[in-house]
Chains A and B, each alone.
Chain A
Amino acid sequence: MSLIQEIDFGTPRSKSENFVTLTIDGQSVTVPEGTSIMRAAMEAGTQIPKLCATDMVDAYGSCRLCLVEIEGRAGTPASCTTPVMSGLVVHTQSDRLKRLRKGVMELYISDHPLDCLTCAANGDCELQDMAGAVGLRDVRYGYAGENHVFAKSNGAANAAWMPKDESNPYFTYDPSKCIVCSRCVRACEEVQGTFALTISGRGFDSRVSPGMSESFLGSECVSCGACVQACPTATLTEKSVIEIGQPEHSVVTTCAYCGVGCTFKAEMRGEEVVRMVPYKDGKANRGHSCVKGRFAWGYTTHKERILNPMIRERIADPWREVSWDEAFAFAAAKFKAIQAKYGRDAVGGITSSRCTNEETYLVQKLIRAGFGNNNVDTCARVCHSPTGYGLSTAFGTSAGTQDFDSVEQSDVIMIIGANPTDAHPVFGSRMKKRLRAGARLIVIDPRRTDIVRSAHVEAQHHLPLLPGTNVAVLTALAHVIVTEGLVNEAFVRERCDWSEFEDWAAFVALPKNSPEATAIATGVDPRELREAARLFATGGNGAIYYGLGVTEHSQGSTTVMAIANLAMATGNIGRPGVGVNPLRGQNNVQGSCDMGSFPHELPGYRHISGDAVREQFESMWNVKLNKEPGLRIPNMFDAAIEGTFMGLYVQGEDILQSDPNTKHVVAALSAMECVIVHDLFLNETANYAHVFLPGSSFLEKDGTFTNAERRIQRVRKVMSPRNGLADWEVTIRLAKAMGFEMHYDHPSQIMDEIAALTPTFTGVSYARLDELGSVQWPCNEKAPEGTPVMHIGGFVRGKGKFVITEYIPTDERTGPRYPLLLTTGRILSQYNVGAQTRRTDNVVWHEEDRLEIHPHDAEQRGVRDGDWVRLASRAGETTLRALISERVAPGVVYTTFHHPDTQANVITTDFSDWATNCPEYKVTAVQISPSNGPSEWQKAYEEQARLSRRIAPVVEAAE
């Protein structure tokens, strides 16, 4: 194994389809028009010396090191800013060029410390490399003059010297090593799109400055790491590199945070991760990252990780550490006893959207084949199950229609109930890049999210609707499109069921669905809505991106169908730049759905009642399967309280914190006789568990994740499982203890079985993934290299289906006692229940959940910024601190759910989507009042958690 060195071509790839041929150093080179001479040379294998150029950002032409000579042209142009032309004859090396470059380097080095041996970038420094490349042998100017290097010069303080900024927990900024190449500033602008960095001053006074000469932590910096990656020196360096040293080998793997699925190089020293660096060939992220994937992996070695299996008879007992064998035997005996006493259907399990496809597949296999029932569900139940239902109804597949690259060809982007810059930050950056290049933006969201107005991005239309009125707004958009004659009739006639379209068109055209009529319920300005509809229908390629603000409602599935209707009516399906794109929450939530984690369907979204499909699985698994659908997560809780569901195996999911109405979940878990939690940490659910099976992190196992664009990507093991077993091995051993044998030596064999049983996966294998890097399903005989864009030329189901989407208000209503609407969401630095990110330095950005409240509502209640407030709904109450903000409209309050001591889900209710039981997290009627501190419930919860997490000391046997 060695360190993967990615080629830096110096300037970005040209997308032109016209090619030109030129001669560089006597070699003929053919490249796309618009390519720089620097890149053309590199493609031919010649590296022209450079400092300010890197291929993640546009050419800048400041360092004057990449000079070349071109026959017939005067002077020595910079090769980074000079485009190729047909017939050019270029020389990259001559006496004049050598002299010029050496002079440039001499000047750079005269203002740079010579501490190479003890420098963190030693071995990974482009300045050092270039000094070597140009043959710099001495610096005639000396170091005594004006400089940025030394704190003191000639005994006096040096005003030009700046101390290190170590405020960011993950990287340092050492201005004494800065060569002001602006690569960091440009990366922040062009790649990340935050514009947190600038160059202050001019000439010799030029300095990289976060914001207005602030600290990195105090500035707008979002800690994505793009600047650190771009820095050619040790000026911006990961603290882990400073501490450990340079890595010696690297492995390409996939991030385990959100559904974007960024590809990273895990750069290692032995089994220690030195740093995670985004991989340029990663097709989801294209070399970019966010603060979570890039830096927040310290949880994998956190001291709170549980590394030994534990059991206990009662949850009031302390945990007892046992051997794996004892834990499996204990768990299996409990589950068998439950089945004997309450029936075969009294146990079940929850697969993890954090774990690999292979692990998820095994858990559902264990449940269907080993437990003999279909009580399997996954956290997609509580996030994107309406996407599955809605899109399979409309189009015939339960997934988004595009790849992420598609956004580069969108003209109008509509974001509904999603906050990509916080929750899908790397894709958010790609979206912002396209918006800066001219695409127009419509945002439908109760909150003024960052993307509504941020640096060089501004939505043409923000429709701040009242939570719970998505269907009314989308139907009103359709009303405008239909009644103003903006339907793409040719598309609809060719691709969709015309009579269903006519029924739908007649429905949306009803006066009750007009923007004016619906405004009373939605709170959206009808004129703004009409303009938005016109823009979407007529603005060119229209792409819809949506998130949990769409699905987590009583009408979640209806909203997804309304989105599909809108895309079909405007012809925005079946080519790059358009489509319906769910931004899926977790790293492998798409995969866990694909792998048959839902109680009613086998892998590949095929209903369990279908005899032909079920028989295939029966013969492969050598067991008779139950043909009845099993319980969904909320139904499991209900059945537990009823007394018919008594045992649950939960892999990698914290249902107690993440599911709505915590008290209800507590009641359900408490009612069960055996709860098995398989996780990295003693999460909240484990407070009610009888068996704890330690899990392995994504760094410790092989497998695949499938991201929001249906992209299957490899997860590669870079270290041994600290707990001893990878998660897939744990499931196999548990199954064996239950009396169901599964034989696999490696996850690749599990994928082979998946491919053999799933028509959309037949072409997938680890060999294929190694060869292609990644592949988007369907990947089969018809599409051996996968399918970036779906429904080209026709829908998977045949004709696209228009479905009537009547707006039905949720039964969760505001009233005199609960006059405000609470909606919930995520923040950039924390991830979901926070089990991982709370155990990293990301807490510096967000150490507690805050309640965002409009100044008007706050003043009425006597609440000031930072005050403790009591937040109460019909389901429960909690306390947290207020954050006065105009990002929420009057009448709406907002909070995140990252911290268990806040337990935002004590507040959320049992209401759920009509079709899938996806909980209605996004709408809860609440009241706010001043408070002195934690509620009684919070105190009781914390005490229970403390008692429940006790681990009995190991007693040594007496000699």
Chain B
Amino acid sequence: MQNELRQDTAAGRSSMSPDRLIYMANQIGKFFQSQGHDKAVPGIAEHIHKFWDPRMRSAIFAHLDAGGAGLEPDVRDAIASLKKAANA
């Protein structure tokens, strides 16, 4: 019974997966897009820094290290800057 209920969820939705985080990051990026690259990059970075828990940030940094496929350019820059600040 238990398995039956959760079956189709577990498939295809591995959740803290990069896919979901990429989607969330790009969604944030879209909001800031209209403010132009110069404002958007720090805006996205600040938002992720303020609202994502450390495991989410580590996961997206790891994804960036692995090539960052799927990240929009501003978002990629923002994550890169965050990562740099975190390591500094």
Instruction: Give residues in A with beta carbon < 8 Å to B.
Output: 315-316, 345, 374-375, 507, 554, 557-558, 599-600, 607, 609, 628-632, 635, 637-639, 641-642, 644, 661, 663-664, 666-668, 670, 804, 806, 808, 876, 910, 914-917, 937, 940-941, 943-944, 947
Contacts and interface: CB of A to CB of B under 8 A. Distances in A.
B27 A914 contact: yes
Contact of A914 (B8, B13, B30): B30
Contacts of A639: 15-16, 55
Interface stretch (B45-53, B60-68, B77-85): B45-53
A714 B27 CA distance: 41
Given A637-B15, A667-B9, A507 B53 contact: no
A764 to B, nearest CB: 27
Nearest to A638: B15
A600 B6 contact: no
Contact of A666 (B6, B35, B53): B6
Contacts of A910: 13
Given A631-B56, A808-B30, 13 more contacts: A316-B2, A345-B54, A554-B27, A629-B53, A641-B13, A663-B9, A666-B5, A666-B9, A667-B9, A806-B31, A806-B34, A915-B47, A940-B1
B88 interface: no
A784 to B, nearest CB: 33
Contacts of A940: 1, 4-5
A664 B10 CA distance: 8
Interface string B1-23: 11011101110011111001000
B54 A628 contact: yes
Nearest to A665: B9
Contacts of A876: 8
Contacts of B51: 600, 629, 632, 915-916
A407 B63 CA distance: 51
Given A670-B2, A914-B30, A642 B54 contact: no
Contacts of A628: 53-54
Contacts of A632: 51
Contact of B15 (A316, A642, A670, A941): A642
A806 B40 CA distance: 13
Nearest to B34: A806
Contacts of A558: 31
Given A558-B31, A806-B31, A629 B50 contact: yes
Interface residues of B, number: 30
A198 to B, nearest CB: 52
A947 B47 CA distance: 44
Contacts of B20: 638
B1 to A, nearest CB: 5
B50 A600 contact: yes
A941 B5 CA distance: 7
Interface of B: 1-2, 4-6, 8-10, 13-17, 20, 24, 27-28, 30-31, 33-35, 47, 50-56
B53 A599 contact: yes
Contacts of B16: 635, 638-639, 641-642, 644
Contacts of B13: 641, 664, 667, 910
A748 to B, nearest CB: 34
4 interchain residue pairs of minimum CB distance: A638-B15, A642-B16, A663-B9, A914-B27
B78 to A, nearest CB: 14
Contacts of B52: 629, 635
B33 to A, nearest CB: 7
B9 A507 contact: no
A641 B52 CA distance: 17
Contacts of A641: 10, 13-16
24 contacts: A316-B2, A345-B54, A374-B53, A558-B31, A600-B50, A630-B53, A631-B53, A631-B55, A637-B15, A638-B15, A641-B14, A641-B16, A661-B9, A663-B9, A666-B6, A667-B9, A670-B6, A806-B33, A876-B8, A914-B24, A937-B5, A940-B5, A944-B2, A944-B5
B67 to A, nearest CB: 21
A502 B54 CA distance: 37
B14 to A, nearest CB: 7
B9 A642 contact: no
Contact of A635 (B5, B14, B56): B56
Contacts of B1: 940, 943-944, 947
A217 B82 CA distance: 61
B53 A915 contact: no
Contacts of B14: 641-642
Nearest to B10: A667
Given A638-B15, A666-B5, A940-B5, A507 B50 contact: no
Contacts of B35: 804
A666 B7 CA distance: 10
A663 B55 contact: no
Contacts of A609: 50
B88 to A, nearest CB: 16
A600 B13 CA distance: 26
B53 A635 contact: yes
A915 B48 CA distance: 9
A806 B50 CA distance: 22
B28 A915 contact: yes
Contacts of A943: 1
B50 to A, nearest CB: 6
Contacts of A670: 2, 5-6
